[in-house]
Homo-oligomer: A and B are copies of this chain.
C-alpha cells in the first residue's frame, strides 16, 4: 500500500519547507521508499485530525498513522528492516537522539532568528496571520524585531555549529563515512532555510558548507532540486 506523507507547505504548495518534514523526506529516500506527498498548511488542522494531533510530518502507511519525525524514523527502521539502515545504533538510538535534540533545541531557534520573516513571507495570507500571532506571542516581540540583528544571529549560528564543524574535519558525514539519520536531523534545518530564504547561513570555506553540499547531492539531488519560494529565486538572480 502507498505511503502518504503530510508535509508543511507554503502558499505555493510545491514549496515544502518544514525542517522536521525534511528529516522524514530524507529518511524515506534513504530507505528507498516512495510516498505520496500531501501538502498541508498551518491552519488546516482538520486535514490531519485523524492523527490525533495538530502537527506535521504525519506518515500514513496502510493502517498505521505515525506522527513526529523521530517516531516516524523509528517506525521506518522497525517496519522496513531490509531497507538501508537509518541508524547505526540499536534502539532506542540514544546518540542519534541526542543529535536530534541538539538540532531541534539549538539549531531551530538559532536559524529561526534569521529566517522567521522569510518563512512568514512565503505563506498564504490565512497562515501568515496564524504564524505571526503564534510566533510573536512566543518571542514577545514583532517578527521583524526577532530577525533585526541579522549579522549577530548568523554569527551565533556559526558558533552553535562548532561541534559539528569539528567532527566534519575528520569525516564526510556526521554519522561517519556514510550519511544516516543523524545527518538528516541536522540537514533538515538547512533545508528549512534554503526553501524560504536567500540569506547565506554558511561561509563557503566552512566544513559544514561542504557537508551540506554533499547532502544536497544525495539520493539523486533530491534536496538540491526541491522547489524554493519565488522570493528566494528572485534574490539569487538579483545578487
Task: Mark A residues whose CB is within 8 Å of B.
Answer: 88-90, 92, 94-99, 101-102, 104-106, 162-164, 166-167, 171, 173-176, 182
Contacts and interface: CB of A to CB of B under 8 A. Distances in A.
Protomer copies: 2
B99 A167 contact: no
B101 A98 contact: no
A94 to B, nearest CB: 4
Contact of A175 (B88, B94, B166, B174): B94
A88 B99 contact: no
A139 to B, nearest CB: 16
B88 A167 contact: no
A194 B49 CA distance: 50
Given A89-B88, A163-B106, A95 B99 contact: yes
Contacts of A106: 162-163
A215 to B, nearest CB: 15
Given A89-B95, A101-B166, A106-B163, 5 more contacts: A89-B89, A94-B167, A98-B182, A102-B102, A105-B163
Given A90-B88, A162-B106, A98 B171 contact: no
Contacts of A90: 88
7 contacts: A89-B89, A89-B95, A94-B174, A95-B96, A98-B98, A98-B167, A101-B167
A63 to B, nearest CB: 26
Nearest to A176: B94
Contacts of A96: 95
